[in-house]
Structure 1
Amino acid sequence: MSRDIQSPAPVGSSTGGSIRHIDDELQHYDTYLRDLRGLSPGSRRNRLGVVRRLLRQKFGDGVVDMARLDPDDVRQFLADQLAERRTPSNASGLAAGLRNYLRYRSMCGDAVSPLAAVISSPAHWKLAVLPRALTVEEVKQLLSSFRFASRWPRRGYAMVRCALDLGLRSGEIARLKIDDIDWQAGTVTLRNTKSFRQDILPLPVETGQALADYLQHERPPSASSAIFVSPRAPRGEPCTAEAVRKVIKHAYRRSGIPHSGSHALRHTFACRLVEHGSSLKEVADLLRHRSLTTTQIYAKLDTPQLATVPLPWPGSES
């Protein structure tokens, strides 16, 4: 690597200010994750969150001194965190976050091997859990909920249709540009996706109608080329993935469906494809999975029992 890792402020020295020590440490670590590891903002945010909780639990408002962090501290931190949310995904995220941070501190010259030794890899079987898909009734409830939305119903409805009909992730919905829609050909182009490629997908009729309705009647004036822009300050700025997730979360709440996250809409889309006879390769292509292994979870679905789950593909006769 051409760049040198800059060691944080001298361990044990005081810089004044209660949380200033932790903020400075996290800033150095974030620079390492960005410049040397090349992690995306979302991945860095997750890593920083784990480390922030560890440092605050151990050092509180004091100086970050790695020499004072012992294996029992790490064990206690893991126990406390898992007590709040004991799931395989949380355990895996904690273990990965701590290992990455200790690797960074090791490259800074700290002796952290005893700390890393107490971080065990949780058992997390791939394809062990079936995706959570919405039933046909839940889909109807969700879409109907926008009739009762007090603000910007067309915007939310179009976002949900993009997730349900195209299987788009929240970030992909937020990044959609007006020029990405070919209205005559009936296609949508996805750029800068999670798999770092460009994809062209068919645009279902109802999805296109929802997008057109929002663009013509509810989208505020904006110099941005983004389809979805903020309707309030900063008005006209492109929406974020977090904003999309909030819209979907509020729709769940209005419809009375137990919140299961925006990804449930993507799973519903995939289940519909499987039930209609699509091969796993076709599902993988439409979901834009980098590996077919990721799609194999849908091979476990009992497709005869999914007859009540899928809606017809928008625009089709079935």
Structure 2
Amino acid sequence: MSLHSGTVNTRAALRHLLKLLAQRRPVKSSTDDPITTELDRFGDYLQNICGVAPQTNARRCKDVGALLANCFGAEPLVLSPLSVAQIDAFVATLIPRLRPASLRAGCNSLRSYFRFRALLGESTDALSASLPRVADWRHATLPKALSDAQLAAFLKAFDCSNPVELRDYAIARCLLDLGLRGDEVAHLTLQSVDWRNGTLTIGTSKSKRVQQLPLPVPAGEAIARYQGL
């Protein structure tokens, strides 16, 4: 490497260092309350070590500040006496007033803070583990179809020793064997079945037309058992 290229690299590194120093927050005076001092330290960690965006930094500091105010007030911040029960109680206060996405973001903020305190020598594994994993139902999808084992378990769940269960079993067979919608099954009557021709008449459908469908044997047997009561 030439002397010129080394000088250029050194200048670039110094410019980057000066930029970081300019961005650092001024040292707070000893009169600041413990929570403010702690949030400044946490914010510096997020900015200079984790490189999070300013908006995310502010949000995490706000969430952590709420926890610290709830658990410590003006007392010294020592996490070792902090219990899982206190974390659970704090999260319980958030559930009624936050949407799932906001609650999930708040728990992530607390996990980030516990990682920060772990770097300082605190034992925070139990505290991190106590935070709930909030489901994101917006990205959840239903299975396209039940497996054979799941279908078998579903059909075995009916106790066909009483009329109500026999009726429900016949409804379930119509849903499974014919692929009918719930509204179509709800409007079926015993008169809908043509036993001689082995068909089922659907009078209420999405297309507003009367349809005749072949009656599968399992569905027909289930309806016959219910009819024979």
How high is the TM-score relative to the length of structure 2? 0.46
Which structure has the greater CA radius of gyration?
Answer: 2
| Bigger proportion of residues as helix | 2
Higher RCO by CA contacts (8 Å cutoff, separation 6 or greater): 1
How high is the TM-score relative to the length of structure 1? 0.34
